[in-house]
Amino acid sequence: MNRTPNPSADLTDFDFDAAYRETEAQRRAAMDDVWRGANAALATAGSNALRSAQRLAHRLARRAARGLRASPAA
């Protein structure tokens, strides 16, 4: 015979406060992971943009030193 569990009896011993604290801790950990990933992505994008700008400045400085001018915009 299948015994149907009594949900109200199972919940009487459940520690809702502990479950809430655990849920909050997991939520904070998840948010930390999200922000850590976002910060890493921004740092990578920022360093790539800075490197590109430095390379362009160096290239333009070399062209200026040789007496060449940048080509006009189309």
Tokens standing for 60?
């333009």
The amino acid occupying position 15 is D
Residue 23: inside a domain:
yes
Q: Answer whether 0.85 is exceeded by the pTM.
A: no
Do the Cβ atoms of 20 and 28 come closer than 8 Å? no
Q: Answer yes or no: is 9 within a domain.
A: no
Number of structural domains found in the chain: 1
Domain that holds residue 24: 18-63
Residue 48: inside a domain: yes
Q: Is residue 56 part of a domain?
A: yes
Q: Give domain status of residue 7, yes or no.
A: no
Q: Measure Cα distances from 53 to 12, 13, 57, 64, 73 in Å.
A: 64, 63, 6, 16, 19
Question: Residue 69 gets which letter from DSSP?
Answer: -
Model pLDDT for residues 34-70, shown as the tens digit of each residue: 999 999 999 999 999 999 999 999 999 998 888 866 6
Does some domain include residue 69? no
Q: 3 in a domain, yes or no?
A: no
The answer to whether residue 2 sits within a structural domain is no
| Residue 9 pLDDT exceeds 60 | no
